């Protein structure tokens, strides 16, 4: 995970600069302090991962950093069976 945060941090910095977004503007949009943004851009692990994702989203590159999960990884198929047994206990898998 540490290596991914470093890459995300570099991406945030590059995209922010290339899109002419000031550090102050990005900080305001993320509701964070300047030191937090500096830590993010250095890929430090003591910054909440949700902030990295929010920054990547604001910069328009979230889909590149975190591709969509394959539908088979999150869609549940119970085949009509209940996840819990009936009250009488007769509806087990």
φ/ψ region of 80 (left if φ > 0, alpha if ψ in -120 to 50, else beta) reads left
How far apart, in whole angstroms, are the C-alpha atoms of residue 19 and residue 23? Answer: 11
Identify the band that residue 31 occupies on the pLDDT scale cut at 50, 70 and 90.
very high
Q: Which residue has the higher pLDDT, 65 or 38?
A: 38
DSSP structure class, residue 83: S
Taking the whole predicted model, whether its pTM rises above 0.85 is answered as: no
Phi and psi for 46 in degrees, rounded to 5? -90, 15
Q: In this predicted structure, what is the pLDDT of residue 78? A: 64
What is the residue-averaged pLDDT of the chain?
A: 87
Percent of the chain with pLDDT over 70: 83
DSSP state of 89: S
CA 43 – CA 41 distance, rounded (Å): 5
pLDDT classification of 89: cutoffs 50, 70, 90: low
């Amino acid at each position: 995970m540490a290596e991914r945060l470093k890459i995300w941090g570099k991406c945030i910095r590059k995209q922010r600069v290339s899109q002419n977004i000031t550090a102050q503007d990005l900080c305001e949009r993320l509701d964070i302090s300047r030191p937090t943004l500096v830590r993010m851009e250095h890929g430090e692990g003591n910054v909440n991962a949700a902030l990295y994702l929010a920054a990547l989203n604001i910069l328009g590159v979230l889909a590149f950093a975190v591709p969509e999960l394959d539908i088979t990884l999150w869609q549940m198929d119970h085949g009509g069976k209940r996840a819990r047994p009936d009250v009488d206990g007769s509806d087990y898998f």
